[in-house]
Chains A and B, each alone.
Chain A
Amino acid sequence: MADPILSVSGVTVRYGTVQALRDVSLDLTAGRILGLLGVNGSGKSSLFGAIMGTVVVDAGRVRLFGGSSAAARKRNLVTYVPQSENVDWDFPLSVREVVLMGRYGMLGFTRRPRRIDRVAVADALDRVGLAELADRQIGELSGGQRKRVFLARGIAQGAGLLLLDEPFAGVDKASERTIVDLLRALRDEGCGILVSTHDLAGVPELCDEVLLLQNRVLFRGAPHEALTPERLSLAFGAEVGNP
């Protein structure tokens, strides 16, 4: 098997007396989509934080592309698509301006974009089907279009590792379809994708592998093995135990 582009080993994260992650290990190779399933408070955000270096890891180790998280980020290898509720959609920026931010890591002191950056942004917008909305203010988009803005930013960046936090929340079925197709295409081009989701129905189609998280790893394996009533009730409790 190829070397993993993301490798988390034995990671523990504590906030005071609360243990958000306990001895969590996972790895992800290029060209794979790993689904991260768990209820709110199961540690998904902490895991993303640990990978991105924004959460202090109390034990264990995170390696990206064979080096530290900071080194991989400096090389523009990682992109993060935030949850919609964590974005200020009233911020006075156009779709194009947000996608251009994907290129900032490659730019100089003042981040003045070059021709090649504008082309990369236009290509990325084309790819996610937002070329015609490029000059809209970001709040003037639908839920699915908003997600695609951030995907386009990751594409413009050319990142090899995509982290997506709840990409299907507040997204209609048609847009979900578009996003799933995009993610699979990116995977086929060699991106490694880690996606947290509540949307169990879409999991078998999207993910190559699934990880059930409840502050520790409950299960890791193929989607059809993970989505059994017994395993799901372990991760989610009774509510979805009998889908």
Chain B
Amino acid sequence: MTPIDWLFEPLQYAFMSRALVVTAVAAATCAFLSCWLVQIGWSLMGDAVSHAVLPGVALSYILGIPFAVGAFIFGAGAVALIGGVRATTRIKADAAIGVVFTALFALGLVIISVTPSQTDLTHILFGNVLGVTDAEIAQVLVIGAVACTVLFLKRRDLTLFAFDRSHANAIGINTRWLSVLLLGLLALTVVVALQAVGIILVVAMLITPGATAYLLTKRFDRMLVLAVAVTLIAALLGAYASFYLDISTGGAVVLAQSIAFALAYLFGARGGMVPTRLRMARARRSEAAA
């Protein structure tokens, strides 16, 4: 089989073409957003929102409304609840996040367990990208496009917000509005990504790309481009691997991104282990020679 055949063979199957489209859109959107999440230190918020959408997804299937609507309502609700708990108690941020998202996740499990319908828990939890419907693809495309467009247009404000909130405030930028915007985009992005890899692994899509790109560059603009490019390649390679090796698609997509992170960790320009050790060894040698 030539490489060309290898590339085109899966596309002959409609389910595989759809899976690749969904995977690519989800990977790109998540990678874009993840750069800000990891820089602000909101990785755990990604984890929380992705788990908290479970009851929303379950209710959507039961009520026959688009899953995106329910997921978004519960994702945004989780953010509001976390903010509310933090504002009105002395509980630390990570505890507030943990309490809220596990409560909502548990609620989702209970709702699914009492619903005699065709909602398949494993599909929601671990993704069912090979079985996405046309309606679901449409939702993914529209939401992905909206999220990416807003991120692109407001990228400078979001970077300022991530870097120096006090300056944003000093020049009259509404930082509260920016955090709401970012959390809203997070909720939207989770909705897209859970189609590709399922609720459990969405958080990987939201953290790994930004963390990988951070190891590769000292410029935020480049970090955005690298995150999207590396993640797209890794995600598609993962999807192809799942086709040929007959392994879990969501698992393979996330694993491929993890491998990309490991490579950046070892060889990345910014503090990669191998180049750093080499530099240190070289410095020692020149010191010894001097």
Q: Give the interface of A toward B (CB within 8 A).
A: 52-54, 70, 73-76, 78-80, 82, 86-88, 91-94, 97-98, 101-102, 104-105, 109-112, 137, 153, 157
Q: How far is the CA of A87 from the CA of B162 in the complex (A)?
A: 11
In the complex, what residues of B have CB within 8 A of residue A70's CB?
A: 172
Q: How far is the CA of A80 from the CA of B153 in the complex (A)?
A: 26
Contact B166 A82 (CB under 8 A): yes
Contact B219 A80 (CB under 8 A): no
Q: How far is the CA of A109 from the CA of B157 in the complex (A)?
A: 9
**What does DSSP make chain A's interface, helix, strand, loop or mixed?**
mixed
In the complex, what residues of B have CB within 8 A of residue A111's CB?
A: 156-157, 160
In the complex, what residues of B have CB within 8 A of residue A92's CB?
A: 39, 214, 217-220, 222-223
Judged by a CB distance under 8 angstroms, whether B114 is at the interface is no
Q: How far is the CA of A83 from the CA of B120 in the complex (A)?
A: 53
Q: How far is the CA of A70 from the CA of B176 in the complex (A)?
A: 14
Q: Which residue of A lies closest to B153 (CB)?
A: A110
Contact B154 A105 (CB under 8 A): no
Q: Closest 8 A-B residue pairs measured CB to CB?
A: A105-B171, A74-B172, A111-B156, A137-B218, A73-B172, A80-B170, A92-B220, A92-B218
Contact A76 B171 (CB under 8 A): yes
In the complex, what residues of A have CB within 8 A of residue B166's CB?
A: 52, 54, 80, 82, 86
Q: How far is the CA of A112 from the CA of B164 in the complex (A)?
A: 18
In the complex, what residues of B have CB within 8 A of residue A110's CB?
A: 153-156
Report which of A75, A87, A97 forms a contact with B172, defined as CB distance below 8 A.
A75
Identify 8 new A-B residue pairs, CB closer than 8 A, beyond the known A80-B170, A102-B171, A104-B171: A73-B172, A78-B170, A91-B162, A91-B163, A91-B220, A93-B163, A93-B220, A104-B173
In the complex, what residues of A have CB within 8 A of residue B173's CB?
A: 104-105
Jot down 24 A-B pairs with beta carbons below 8 A, ordered by A.
Answer: A52-B170, A54-B166, A73-B170, A73-B171, A73-B172, A76-B172, A79-B170, A80-B170, A82-B166, A91-B39, A92-B217, A92-B218, A92-B222, A93-B220, A97-B219, A98-B164, A104-B156, A104-B157, A104-B160, A104-B168, A104-B171, A105-B172, A110-B154, A111-B156
Contact A101 B160 (CB under 8 A): yes
Q: Which residue of A lies closest to B39 (CB)?
A: A91
Q: How far is the CA of A149 from the CA of B259 in the complex (A)?
A: 37
Q: How large is the interface on B (under 10, 10 to 19, 20 to 34, 35 or more residues)?
A: 20 to 34
Question: Measured between C-beta atoms, what is the minimum distance from B117 to chain A in Å?
Answer: 45
Q: Which residue of A lies closest to B165 (CB)?
A: A54
Q: How far is the CA of A70 from the CA of B219 in the complex (A)?
A: 32
Judged by a CB distance under 8 angstroms, whether B169 is at the interface is yes
In the complex, what residues of A have CB within 8 A of residue B163's CB?
A: 88, 91, 93, 98, 101
Q: How far is the CA of A53 from the CA of B169 in the complex (A)?
A: 8
Judged by a CB distance under 8 angstroms, whether B167 is at the interface is yes
Q: How far is the CA of A79 from the CA of B171 in the complex (A)?
A: 7
Question: Measured between C-beta atoms, what is the minimum distance from B50 to chain A in Å?
Answer: 25
In the complex, what residues of B have CB within 8 A of residue A88's CB?
A: 39, 163
Question: Measured between C-beta atoms, what is the minimum distance from A51 to chain B in Å?
Answer: 10
Q: How far is the CA of A87 from the CA of B217 in the complex (A)?
A: 19
In the complex, what residues of B have CB within 8 A of residue A76's CB?
A: 171-172
Q: How far is the CA of A73 from the CA of B214 in the complex (A)?
A: 32
Contact A97 B220 (CB under 8 A): yes
Q: How far is the CA of A163 from the CA of B91 in the complex (A)?
A: 32
In the complex, what residues of A have CB within 8 A of residue B159's CB?
A: 93
Question: Measured between C-beta atoms, what is the minimum distance from A110 to chain B in Å?
Answer: 5
Q: Which residue of B lies closest to A54 (CB)?
A: B169
Report which of B153, B218, B219 forms a contact with A109, defined as CB distance below 8 A.
B153
In the complex, what residues of B have CB within 8 A of residue A54's CB?
A: 166, 169
Given contacts A91-B220, A93-B220, A110-B153, contact A82 B164 (CB under 8 A): yes
Q: Which residue of B lies closest to A107 (CB)?
A: B156
Q: How far is the CA of A101 from the CA of B156 in the complex (A)?
A: 9
Q: How far is the CA of A7 from the CA of B166 in the complex (A)?
A: 20
Contact A101 B164 (CB under 8 A): yes
Q: How far is the CA of A75 from the CA of B172 in the complex (A)?
A: 8
Q: How far is the CA of A157 from the CA of B173 in the complex (A)?
A: 14
Q: How far is the CA of A102 from the CA of B171 in the complex (A)?
A: 8
Q: How far is the CA of A79 from the CA of B170 in the complex (A)?
A: 6
Which residues 129-178 of B have a CB within 8 angstroms of A? 153-157, 159-160, 162-164, 166-173
In the complex, what residues of A have CB within 8 A of residue B164's CB?
A: 82, 87, 98, 101
Which residues 203-246 of B have a CB within 8 angstroms of A? 214, 217-220, 222-223
In the complex, what residues of A have CB within 8 A of residue B222's CB?
A: 92
In the complex, what residues of B have CB within 8 A of residue A109's CB?
A: 153
Question: Measured between C-beta atoms, what is the minimum distance from A97 to chain B in Å?
Answer: 7
In the complex, what residues of B have CB within 8 A of residue A94's CB?
A: 218-219
